[in-house]
Protein backbone atom coordinates (compact mmCIF):
# COMPACT_ATOMS: atom_id res chain seq x y z
CA UNK A 1 0.00 0.00 0.00
CA UNK A 2 2.96 2.34 0.57
CA UNK A 3 5.62 3.18 -2.00
CA UNK A 4 9.24 2.30 -1.39
CA UNK A 5 10.07 5.93 -0.78
CA UNK A 6 7.39 6.28 1.87
CA UNK A 7 8.68 3.15 3.61
CA UNK A 8 12.25 4.44 3.39
CA UNK A 9 11.42 7.83 4.92
CA UNK A 10 9.25 6.16 7.55
CA UNK A 11 11.96 3.71 8.57
CA UNK A 12 14.90 6.12 8.21
CA UNK A 13 13.42 9.56 8.73
CA UNK A 14 15.78 12.43 7.85
CA UNK A 15 16.22 15.53 10.01
CA UNK A 16 14.57 14.25 13.17
CA UNK A 17 15.19 16.38 16.21
CA UNK A 18 14.96 19.96 17.29
CA UNK A 19 16.89 23.20 16.83
CA UNK A 20 17.65 25.36 19.82
CA UNK A 21 16.84 29.04 19.31
CA UNK A 22 15.29 28.23 15.95
CA UNK A 23 14.50 31.10 13.58
CA UNK A 24 10.98 29.76 13.37
CA UNK A 25 8.99 26.88 14.77
CA UNK A 26 5.56 25.65 13.85
CA UNK A 27 3.40 23.08 15.56
CA UNK A 28 0.25 21.81 13.99
CA UNK A 29 -2.17 19.05 14.78
CA UNK A 30 -4.96 17.23 13.10
CA UNK A 31 -7.99 17.21 15.34
CA UNK A 32 -9.40 14.02 13.82
CA UNK A 33 -6.47 11.66 14.15
CA UNK A 34 -4.78 13.54 16.98
CA UNK A 35 -1.38 13.51 15.28
CA UNK A 36 0.99 16.39 15.94
CA UNK A 37 3.92 17.71 13.93
CA UNK A 38 6.51 20.31 14.86
CA UNK A 39 9.02 21.89 12.47
CA UNK A 40 12.09 23.92 13.42
CA UNK A 41 13.80 26.18 10.88
CA UNK A 42 17.25 27.71 11.05
CA UNK A 43 17.30 30.58 8.56
CA UNK A 44 20.32 32.74 7.72
CA UNK A 45 20.48 36.47 6.95
CA UNK A 46 19.84 35.82 3.26
CA UNK A 47 16.58 34.06 4.12
CA UNK A 48 18.02 30.70 3.18
CA UNK A 49 16.93 27.68 5.23
CA UNK A 50 20.23 26.45 6.59
CA UNK A 51 18.83 23.65 8.66
CA UNK A 52 15.52 22.10 9.47
CA UNK A 53 14.40 19.49 11.98
CA UNK A 54 11.11 17.92 12.85
CA UNK A 55 9.31 15.98 15.51
CA UNK A 56 6.21 14.10 14.63
CA UNK A 57 3.93 12.29 16.99
CA UNK A 58 1.83 10.58 14.44
CA UNK A 59 1.28 7.87 11.91
CA UNK A 60 3.89 6.45 9.55
CA UNK A 61 2.74 8.58 6.64
CA UNK A 62 3.04 11.70 8.78
CA UNK A 63 6.61 10.74 9.69
CA UNK A 64 7.47 10.04 6.03
CA UNK A 65 5.92 13.27 4.78
CA UNK A 66 7.63 15.38 7.43
CA UNK A 67 10.94 13.72 6.60
CA UNK A 68 10.51 14.37 2.88
CA UNK A 69 9.23 17.92 3.47
CA UNK A 70 12.33 18.79 5.51
CA UNK A 71 14.54 17.41 2.74
CA UNK A 72 12.70 19.52 0.17
CA UNK A 73 12.95 22.84 2.05
CA UNK A 74 16.56 22.48 3.19
CA UNK A 75 18.83 24.91 1.33
CA UNK A 76 15.91 26.79 -0.19
CA UNK A 77 14.99 30.40 0.40
CA UNK A 78 11.88 31.03 2.46
CA UNK A 79 10.07 32.08 -0.70
CA UNK A 80 11.08 28.88 -2.52
CA UNK A 81 9.96 26.87 0.51
CA UNK A 82 6.44 28.12 -0.16
CA UNK A 83 6.45 25.87 -3.22
CA UNK A 84 6.82 22.79 -1.06
CA UNK A 85 3.14 22.02 -0.94
CA UNK A 86 1.59 18.80 0.23
CA UNK A 87 1.24 17.89 -3.44
CA UNK A 88 4.96 18.38 -4.00
CA UNK A 89 5.73 16.25 -0.95
CA UNK A 90 3.41 13.49 -2.12
CA UNK A 91 4.93 13.52 -5.59
CA UNK A 92 8.42 13.27 -4.11
CA UNK A 93 7.24 10.20 -2.20
CA UNK A 94 5.72 8.65 -5.36
CA UNK A 95 2.26 9.04 -3.89
CA UNK A 96 0.26 8.26 -0.79
CA UNK A 97 -2.92 6.22 -0.36
CA UNK A 98 -5.99 8.52 -0.50
CA UNK A 99 -6.80 8.04 3.19
CA UNK A 100 -3.35 9.34 4.04
CA UNK A 101 -3.46 12.58 2.08
CA UNK A 102 -4.30 14.58 5.21
CA UNK A 103 -0.98 13.48 6.72
CA UNK A 104 0.91 15.29 3.97
CA UNK A 105 -1.23 18.36 4.57
CA UNK A 106 0.06 18.41 8.11
CA UNK A 107 3.63 18.68 6.77
CA UNK A 108 2.73 21.64 4.57
CA UNK A 109 0.90 23.33 7.44
CA UNK A 110 3.78 22.78 9.85
CA UNK A 111 6.26 24.36 7.43
CA UNK A 112 3.95 27.31 6.85
CA UNK A 113 3.46 27.75 10.59
CA UNK A 114 7.25 27.76 11.12
CA UNK A 115 7.72 30.23 8.25
CA UNK A 116 5.02 32.42 9.74
CA UNK A 117 6.75 32.37 13.10
CA UNK A 118 10.04 33.33 11.43
CA UNK A 119 8.39 36.12 9.41
CA UNK A 120 6.77 37.54 12.53
CA UNK A 121 9.96 37.39 14.56
CA UNK A 122 12.05 39.03 11.86
CA UNK A 123 9.44 41.49 10.63
CA UNK A 124 9.37 40.33 7.03
CA UNK A 125 6.55 39.40 4.68
CA UNK A 126 6.60 36.10 2.80
CA UNK A 127 4.47 36.41 -0.28
CA UNK A 128 1.50 34.07 -0.33
CA UNK A 129 1.93 32.99 3.29
CA UNK A 130 -1.16 33.10 5.42
CA UNK A 131 -1.47 33.03 9.16
CA UNK A 132 -1.64 29.38 10.20
CA UNK A 133 -4.99 28.31 11.55
CA UNK A 134 -3.70 25.38 13.45
CA UNK A 135 -0.47 26.50 15.06
CA UNK A 136 -0.93 25.11 18.52
CA UNK A 137 2.49 25.94 19.90
CA UNK A 138 1.41 28.91 21.94
CA UNK A 139 -2.11 27.96 22.77
CA UNK A 140 -3.44 26.24 25.79
CA UNK A 141 -5.98 23.55 25.30
CA UNK A 142 -8.88 25.72 26.32
CA UNK A 143 -8.08 28.42 23.78
CA UNK A 144 -9.69 28.67 20.39
CA UNK A 145 -7.81 25.75 18.89
**Which residues in this chain contact ligand FES in the complex, by CB under 6 A?**
30, 33, 35, 58-59, 61-62, 100, 102-103, 106
Is the backbone of residue 143 left (phi > 0), alpha (psi -120 to 50) or beta? beta
If you count them, how many residues does the chain have? Answer: 145
Smallest distance from the beta carbon of 10 to ligand FES, in angstroms? 11
Closest CA to 85 of 64, 60, 61, 110: 110
**17, 33, 44, 121: the active-site residue:** 33
- Beta strands per DSSP E along the chain: 24-29, 36-43, 49-57
Cβ proximity to ligand FES, 32 vs 142, nearer residue: 32
69-to-117, 140, 142, 145 alpha-carbon distances in Å: 18, 27, 30, 24
- CB nearer to ligand FES: give 34 or 75: 34
Cβ-closest residue to ligand FES? 33
- The question of whether 59 is a catalytic residue gets the answer no
φ/ψ bin of 18: left (φ > 0), alpha (ψ from -120 to 50), beta (otherwise): beta
For residue 75, the minimal CB distance to ligand FES (Å) is 26
Which one, 36 or 88, has the nearer CB to ligand FES?
A: 36
Q: How far is the CB of 104 from ligand FES (least distance, A)?
A: 9
Catalytic residues: 33, 103
Amino acid sequence: MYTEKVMDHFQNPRNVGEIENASGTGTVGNAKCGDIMRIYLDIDDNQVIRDVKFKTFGCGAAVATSSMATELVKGKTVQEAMEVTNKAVMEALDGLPPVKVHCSLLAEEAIHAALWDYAEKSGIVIEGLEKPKTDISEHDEDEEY
